[in-house]
Amino acid sequence: MKIIAIANQKGGVGKTATSVNLAAGLASKGYKTLLIDLDSQRNATNTLIPPETITTTLADVLVGDNNRQPLENAIYETPIDNLDLVPAHIRLAKIERFIEIEEQFRLKDGINNLTDYDLVILDCPPTLGMTLTQALLASHYVIVPIAADYYSHEGVIDLNESLQKARRGNPQLQILGYVMTRYDSRMRVAKESLQLTQDKYQELAFSSVIRELAAIKTAPAMRLTVYEYDPSGDGSADYTAFTEEVVTRLELENTANKGIHLVEQTSAKKRKAS
């Protein structure tokens, strides 16, 4: 099982769009994938599950001292084959207060008890707080979406500080790559931002770029991934290419570091949305 955080504390850069469409893309390739929504705004949750079906959320797993639920109890099937989701809740914002060391590892411990998944994707909130810390302590890799816009690179410096801190408790944490999102080739700033991303991050910059497209923006309002909303469109093409690049990088990492194949035998056990 590989755990990937999609993180950038800058708001609106495409973390959720990337989390949802990467997770769905990986699932369509046959990987058993779990998407965990760590953002109390619940955007990923609302895209994939009708709110009225949700009874247990990540907040019931992470928040409070007594009567917390195991992570398994907060897993819901989505309409997409091979893709399950752990929904967020507004109460997740409570994690942002100072927490004890033990509490910082609640997410990690919860995920490590799961056996059914090849890949876990964490949609992180747009803050540098305790929720992000828990995500970084739980992850093997981080993917950083960067919007092709003014000041898009400034926030990454702060994220790097968080990564350095998280490595004290999670030394294996690596950046899998930086992905340019919301790219509009008609804008000079977008081209400059892309050039800067490639110059700065070199081979860590994904070669696939996610364009600014109406289909990517509209799909969540229809509670759909971009593949379902516009199967033959540019948004599907961009996220399919990106998904393939992610798989290639993960496989390279596995071969280089561990000599094991990414896809492990899994027993399918799913919880129906109740």
Ligand X SMILES: Nc1ncnc2c1ncn2[C@@H]1O[C@H](COP(=O)(O)OP(=O)(O)OP(=O)(O)O)[C@@H](O)[C@H]1O
Residues that bind ligand X (CB under 6 A): 11-17, 39, 41, 43, 126, 181-182, 210, 212-213, 216-217, 220
| Identity of the residue, 61 or 88, whose beta carbon is nearer to Mg ion in the bound complex | 88
Contacts of residue 63, defined as CB under 8 A and 6 or more positions apart, other chains included, come to 91, 92, 94, 95
What's the closest the beta carbon of residue 91 comes to Mg ion, in angstroms? 17
Nearest Cα to Cα of residue 16 among 54, 61, 47, 49:
47
Report the Cα 259 to chain-centroid distance in Å. 25
Residues 9-68 that bind Mg ion (CB under 5 A): 15-16, 43
| Dist. CA 264–CA 40, nearest whole Å | 32
Nearest approach in angstroms of CB 179 to ligand X is 10
Shortest Å, Cβ 101 to ligand X: 27
Q: Is 131 one of the binding residues for Mg ion (CB under 5 A)?
A: no
Q: Which does 220 bind (CB under 5 to 8 A by kind): Mg ion, ligand X, none?
A: ligand X
Q: Angle at the Cα of 153 (from 42 to 88), degrees rounded to 5?
A: 10
**216 contacts which partner out of ligand X, Mg ion, none, CB within 5 to 8 A by kind?**
ligand X
Of residues 17 and 59, the one with the C-beta less far from ligand X:
17
> What distance in Å separates the CA atoms of residue 238 and residue 266, rounded to the nearest whole number?
29
Residues 173, 139 contacting (CB under 8 angstroms): yes
Q: Given the complex with Mg ion, which of 15 and 140 has the nearer CB atom?
A: 15
- Kindly state the DSSP code that residue 193 receives in the 8-state scheme: H
The owner of tokens 């992000």 is 132
Q: By CB under 5 A, tell whether 89 contacts Mg ion.
A: no
Binding site for Mg ion (CB under 5 A): 15-16, 43
